[in-house]
Amino acid sequence: MKENDTRIYMSGNTPKSYYPLNVYLREKFGKKMIKLSIDGGFTCPNRDGTAGTGGCIFCSDSGSGEFASDIGGQIELLSAKWPDAGYLAYFQNHTNTYAPADELRAKYEKVLSNPLIEGIAIATRPDCLPEDVLNLLSEINENRFMWVELGLQTVHKKTAEEINRCYSLDVFDRAVDELKSRGIRTVVHLILGLPGESREDMVESVKYVCRKGIWGLKLHLLNVIKDTALEKKYPDFVSFKSPDEYINFVCDLLEIIPPDVVIHRLTGDVPRKLLVSPAWSYRKRTILNGIDGEMRRRGSVQGCRL
């Protein structure tokens, strides 16, 4: 364990008992960095029939990119509040490596040619990383700051089938190994509260991905979104009954996550007008403050129960 692995991190004026992304980025770049969520115009092999149809049952028509917009507009809006910030381009919605490598190169390079963009983050599926795409990502990674996000959601086969994920765990394993072998920072998405999963199931998913030696982790609170297959199949489903239940569980998980894993997300939020349940989940700041407070109350830090 590194000397600073159990320290308290300062995120602005807020002490954090875990290693948040904004702290990592400030250490790396020496200033505040802002992710600009953009729509690359991609689709998904789980929608066009290549792997499946309909997409994962929790996913909205926008590919879970409700907050994505154009780069110029976002920079104009944010620069007034943070004039000295740097920017990272985040290809967020749908599957952002699902195209021929030359088409991907053109889209990535167009964004990276903007002098205000200092790095790139790419969200994708583990089954959309063929050799030529991996080589492209490796080339970019050698010259620019980059990370790749893999939407796993769960390690459990039964749940994966239930949510219509349409790829197996060994595909994820190979993708992580390929990215790591190229020195590419890898972030994994897990969803907490999927139908049929117990507390033990979710803990097992967290432990499994951490053993893979990942760089970053996103923990999403399962939100039921209007007009999704999840809402149609489970109209009365609520992933966690209360904020306190969710907050306490996330704190339990933070205690078993290695201290060098960068925490990118600890909840999940969608526009309130699209939210079905949990009714309280739009209160993102309240949830995050609750996690901070509970970790302080426990005297816990990330990884303290490893």
Residue range 149-198, pLDDT digits in tens: 999 999 999 999 999 999 999 999 999 999 999 999 999 999 999 999 99
Residue 104 has pLDDT above 60, yes or no: yes
Greater model confidence, 179 or 8: 179
User: Which has the closest alpha carbon to 104: 86, 129, 127, 126?
Assistant: 129
Which regions of the chain does DSSP assign to beta strands (E)? 9-11, 14-16, 33-38, 86-91, 117-124, 145-153, 185-192, 216-221, 224-225, 262-265, 275-277
In angstroms, rounded to a whole number, what is the distance separating the alpha carbons of residues 134 and 96?
A: 13
Angle, CA of 90, 95 and 96, to the nearest 5°: 45
Q: Give the pLDDT mean for 250-262.
A: 98
Instruction: Find the DSSP H helices in 150-228.
Output: 157-162, 169-181, 199-211
Residue 65 pLDDT level (bands cut at 50, 70, 90): very low
Assigned token pair, 46: 């789980």
Residue 30 pLDDT level (bands cut at 50, 70, 90): very high
In angstroms, rounded to a whole number, what is the distance separating the alpha carbons of residues 152 and 144?
A: 25
Tell me, what amino acid is at 140?
I
In angstroms, rounded to a whole number, what is the distance separating the alpha carbons of residues 258 and 2?
A: 11
Who's near 239: CB < 8 A, 6+ residues apart? 192, 193, 194, 221, 222, 223, 224, 277, 278
Assigned token pair, 212: 């893979």
In sign, the C-alpha dihedral spanning 293, 195, 211, 207 is positive
Assigned token pair, 155: 């390690």
The Cα-based distances of 207 to 72, 184, 187, 203, 255 in angstroms read 39, 21, 14, 6, 11
Tally of CB atoms within 10 A around 141: 18
Task: Give the per-residue pLDDT at 1.
Answer: 36
Residue 6 pLDDT level (bands cut at 50, 70, 90): low
| Poorest-pLDDT segment among 82-96, 143-157, 246-260 | 82-96
Residue 31 has pLDDT above 80, yes or no: yes
Q: Give the pLDDT mean for 131-153.
A: 98
Task: Give the per-residue pLDDT at 69.
Answer: 60
Average pLDDT, the chain: 93
Helix (H) or strand (E) holding 293: helix 284-298
Task: Give the per-residue pLDDT at 66.
Answer: 45
Q: Give the pLDDT mean for 271-296.
A: 95
Task: Give the per-residue pLDDT at 10.
Answer: 80
